[in-house]
Chain A
Amino acid sequence: MARPIKETPILYGEDARRFEARMKEKRRISPEERARINESYELFMDMLRRGEELKRQRNAAKIKS
């Protein structure tokens, strides 16, 4: 049996303060990283659209037969 995924804990005290400070401090993403993220997204979305459409067609064919 696969191990259970750990619950995300509540942050207290200094951890909470550090986390909020991090939220306000935006990390700068390089143009190359942004371009790669956008490209990956488009590639995966295309694959997901094709996959879901194929599944829809197969399910429709099953119902007909």
Chain B
Amino acid sequence: MQPKLNLKDHQLVISKLDENETVKTFDCGDSDLNDFILYESPLYRKEKLSVTYVLKNADDINNEHIAAFFSLSNDRISLTDFDNKTKYNRFSRRFNNRKRLKSYPAAKIGRLGVDILYKGQGVGGRALDFVKRYFSTDNKTGCRFITVDAYAAVIPFYLHNGFVPLNDEDIDEPTRLLFFDLNDLDED
């Protein structure tokens, strides 16, 4: 029988992984996500590329059985009024400036995984909710969007949670870039 994860249980904690911390076991059914959390997340932390948050029991000091994780990093969405990349590159080389490029700050969900023991209990959706408000009301700098490079199989999950495809260029690729506008959370 699948163990029930009660997020209101005070025995559960979330912790940011330090560069000297490792996760001992985790299986969300996806080898790529497993590889990241088991072997690569400390390197990303050490190089200050992303911060990984793990959900686990308070007494699991050595991260033996984490239930879920997500990693976050800084991002931006940039746009230009040039019609295509060639025209933009030609202009940039010639005038050596980026004046005609607008950028909006964003936070990227690099990876999000829930252990197969706890799948189907809404933990992933709750994590998305948290990230949205974490960056809209609690942010140290400025952040307008949440971005994610989502696997094709989980795109419906992100769309259901208010994310929108950035463009149609990656429509047939194994992953697709999606964004969520944090202004959507503002009260009318």
Contacts and interface: CB of A to CB of B under 8 A. Distances in A.
Interface of A: 1-3, 5-6, 8-13, 15-16, 18-20, 22-23, 26-27, 29, 34, 36-41, 43-45, 47-48, 50-52, 54-55, 58
Range of interface residues on B (Cβ < 8 Å): 35 or more
Contacts of B64: none
Given A19-B166, A27-B181, A41-B130, A8 B15 contact: no
B175 interface: yes
B59 to A, nearest CB: 9
Given A44-B134, A50-B58, 8 more contacts: A8-B108, A8-B177, A12-B85, A36-B129, A40-B125, A41-B129, A41-B133, A45-B130
B115 interface: no
Contact of B79 (A5, A11, A50): A11
Nearest to A36: B129
Nearest to B73: A5
From A6, A29, A34, A55, name the one whose CB has the most chain B CB atoms within 10 angstroms.
A6
